Homo-oligomer: A and B are copies of this chain.
Amino acid sequence: MRLWLVCTCLCLSSLEYKQKMHPQTGIVLTTGYRLSFVCSVLRSAPPCSKFFSVKHTADVQYSINPPRSEADHLSPIPLNDDTVLLFSMKKASEEENDNKLSVRYYGTDKKMLGTAVLHLTAVEISLDVDADRDGIVEKNNPNKGCWKWGPDGHGAIILVNCDSERRWRKLDHEQDFIDRESDLKDMTTMVLRTKGPAKLPEGYKLTMHISQGDAESIRVYTSADGHRYPLILQSACLSAEVLYRRGFAENKFYVEGIRFPDKDFDGLVTINLSLLEPIGPGIPETPIFTDKVVLRIAPWIMTPNTLTPKEVFVCSTTDNYTFLKEIRSFVAKSGHNLKICHEYMNRGDHRGLVDFPYEKLLGPDFGYVTKKAQKEDVNSLDSFGNLEVSPPVTVNGKKYPLGRIIIGVAFPTAAQGRNMTQVIQDFLWAQKVQEPIALFSDWLCIGHVDEFMTFVPAPDKNGFRLLLASPDAGYKLFKSLSKQGHGNATLFDGSINTHSQLYLSQKGLQDHNNYVQSCIDWNRDVLKRELGLDEGDIIDLPILFKLVKEDEEVRALAYYPDVVNMLVLGKNLGIPKPFGPKVNGRCAIEAEVCSLLEPLGLSCTFIDNFASYHQLLGEVHCGSNVRREPFDFKWWNMEM
């Protein structure tokens, strides 16, 4: 009978038990288990036991279920079929088996029949991240195992490590080792805190593990000696033993994001830490405690025109000397930094820029992401003049503090329209924090939303105005010029023999522009609805279009430089010089644009991009790029 009368050390089998679940708070383990046990007192009792009593060392606490009155505990307690002992430890052990719990069993006459003894070792384990997002990895945040959006939300975040500490053409996450300590700042610090005896009881071990799916999105490194950072978890190795260290220990880990949220990945990953218990030789270990942390990979975020510019990028080509001179002067006047991409790099601009971002932009804290189209269906709508973002808006009470992404697609009534390729659309929608709006842009030859819309900062209302190209406003302007007797003023500085009067007399051109106005009106409706705008938020710029036939499709081009395709640097606007009819020595289109925008405190600079860009179907905005200050608003504070 001694077999189940004395239970030493870790041999618990004779005192049968059931674990009790404390998934949220279970950090203290007794002899490798969580804080609390349920122990069936009856099952470990010698035959004929009718009563029992409990003794224990100072750090042990227990209760009996069903509950008895306190007085009962001092004398032998009747032993029933359903008697269960629930015990736990108050703090971590300093030595292995430094605590003890014993149960004495008595017969009918309260004669002692035997004693069952448990030696207990308690270990505290907590896998920690910065779940309250204050920059400090706090201990055992109760919310670390789930993730919630919003100002009252919680859950740690991970960056995609897509910059390069090396200024090579290689992203940091394209290598699976850390060779610069600065790279650690692009990763999320995770801490494994343990407290307990000098070592874990024989055969017990700690393992960290992730799922195969999550391993496509993150890697975990550890800190070996403060200088080396071995990779421990990745898709080829989902589970790794981690070191247990004596006393109170804090092991640091570094979590690296390797992909952005996408159609098949919501951005959430889980990292688990388990304590494994040995059962016997040749038998697998079983997890007896698992702690977990849930993190979200930061989305890819666009910066709207209302954010402060940091750098402006343009190309230098054989034929854009005038443009370059004017844009240089405009950017300097605006107080910003111009970066020129020279011809050996841009290979004539327009389509040859593929190497520039790798060679010149990629570097510390400046990364990139690429998506490969699945089919051979890439077209003009995949260029990023067709990818814009609104300033922050509130729509029917729903806040978009980072604005909304805007792309252009085909109107689906078209049998065979052009669309932005699906992998890009999927990627944009998956970022969630700037929920995209799809406009109808396939009516344009180039098909970019920036051919008919942009945003400029404004001191009032939503803090911005939506500028729309407007043939109606164009006709209105030309009619009023005609009415004022300027019908014969020449456009294009006289270099092309066009009189403003001509516009009014061409029925074909009027039809073309009625069509364009219908297309833009359609988008105006969508933008008003999806951005929560009213007519007062919109300014119509006088722009005429013409229709041309290409590949059996009739599509639109701006007739003169498309003033809405502008470069917005704070209050300074670099606008394509429209070369409109001169009235009293001043371009009437420029004058009209200024009269619409200057009341908002904006300053208009007209830049000649006629030969260099307009005739190649682009304008200032198409020919430039701006890096802006990121949002002050923290994306995780969005309410979803």
| A393 smallest CB distance to B (angstroms) | 16
Cα–Cα distance between A511 and B285 once the two chains are bound (Å): 11
User: Which residues does chain B contribute within 8 Å of A276, judged by CB atoms?
Assistant: 413
User: Which residues does chain B contribute within 8 Å of A207, judged by CB atoms?
Assistant: 413
User: Which residues does chain B contribute within 8 Å of A43, judged by CB atoms?
Assistant: 472, 476, 479
Which of A14-22, A252-260, A579-587 sits within the interface? Answer: A14-22
User: Which residues does chain B contribute within 8 Å of A213, judged by CB atoms?
Assistant: 422
User: Which residues does chain B contribute within 8 Å of A283, judged by CB atoms?
Assistant: 511-512, 515, 547, 554
| A293 smallest CB distance to B (angstroms) | 14
Q: State whether the Cβ of A13 lies closer than 8 Å to any Cβ in chain B.
A: yes
In-complex Cβ contact of A511 among B280, B415, B549 (8 A): B280
Asked if A284 meets B528 with Cβ closer than 8 Å, knowing A412-B209, A472-B18, the reply is no
Contact status B415-A238, CB under 8 Å: yes
What residue in chain B is nearest A43 (Cβ atoms)?
B476
Report A480-520 CB contacts with B as 1/0, cut-off 8 Å.
Answer: 00010000000000000000000000001011101100110
User: Which residues does chain B contribute within 8 Å of A212, judged by CB atoms?
Assistant: 419
Contact status B522-A287, CB under 8 Å: yes
| A87 smallest CB distance to B (angstroms) | 16
User: Which residues does chain B contribute within 8 Å of A512, judged by CB atoms?
Assistant: 283
Q: State whether the Cβ of A335 lies closer than 8 Å to any Cβ in chain B.
A: no
Asked if A274 meets B521 with Cβ closer than 8 Å, knowing A264-B264, A280-B511, the reply is no
Cα–Cα distance between A481 and B443 once the two chains are bound (Å): 85
Chain A residues 434 to 453 lying within 8 A of chain B, measured CB to CB, are: 443
Cα–Cα distance between A212 and B410 once the two chains are bound (Å): 11
Cα–Cα distance between A518 and B210 once the two chains are bound (Å): 21
| A143 smallest CB distance to B (angstroms) | 14
Contact status A284-B210, CB under 8 Å: no
Contact status B21-A412, CB under 8 Å: no
Chain A residues 573 to 628 lying within 8 A of chain B, measured CB to CB, are: none
Cα–Cα distance between A524 and B19 once the two chains are bound (Å): 9
What residue in chain B is nearest A475 (Cβ atoms)?
B16
Cα–Cα distance between A522 and B276 once the two chains are bound (Å): 12
User: Which residues does chain B contribute within 8 Å of A554, judged by CB atoms?
Assistant: 282-284
Contact status B279-A515, CB under 8 Å: yes
Chain copies in the assembly? 2
Cα–Cα distance between A417 and B107 once the two chains are bound (Å): 49
Contact status A16-B472, CB under 8 Å: yes
Contact status B547-A239, CB under 8 Å: no
Contact status B238-A412, CB under 8 Å: yes
Contact status B510-A19, CB under 8 Å: no
Q: State whether the Cβ of A211 lies closer than 8 Å to any Cβ in chain B.
A: yes
Q: State whether the Cβ of A272 lies closer than 8 Å to any Cβ in chain B.
A: yes
Contact status B284-A515, CB under 8 Å: yes
Contact status B413-A239, CB under 8 Å: yes
Report A126-166 CB contacts with B as 1/0, cut-off 8 Å.
Answer: 00000000000000000000000000000000000000000
- State the A residues within 8 Å of B (CB): 13, 16, 18-19, 21, 23, 38, 43, 47, 207, 209-213, 238-239, 263-264, 272, 274, 276-277, 279-280, 282-288, 411-415, 419, 422, 443, 472, 475-476, 479, 483, 508, 510-512, 514-515, 518-519, 521-522, 524-525, 528-529, 535, 547, 549, 554
Q: Which 10 A-B pairs have the closest CB atoms?
A: A286-B518, A280-B511, A21-B525, A279-B515, A209-B412, A283-B515, A239-B413, A207-B413, A209-B413, A19-B521
- 21 A-B residue pairings within 8 Å (CB atoms): A16-B475, A16-B476, A18-B472, A19-B525, A23-B525, A209-B412, A213-B422, A238-B412, A238-B415, A239-B413, A272-B412, A274-B413, A279-B518, A282-B554, A283-B515, A283-B554, A284-B414, A284-B554, A286-B515, A287-B411, A287-B413
13 additional contacts (CB under 8 A) given A18-B524, A43-B472, A287-B411: A16-B472, A21-B529, A47-B483, A207-B413, A212-B419, A238-B412, A239-B413, A279-B515, A280-B514, A286-B515, A286-B518, A287-B522, A288-B518
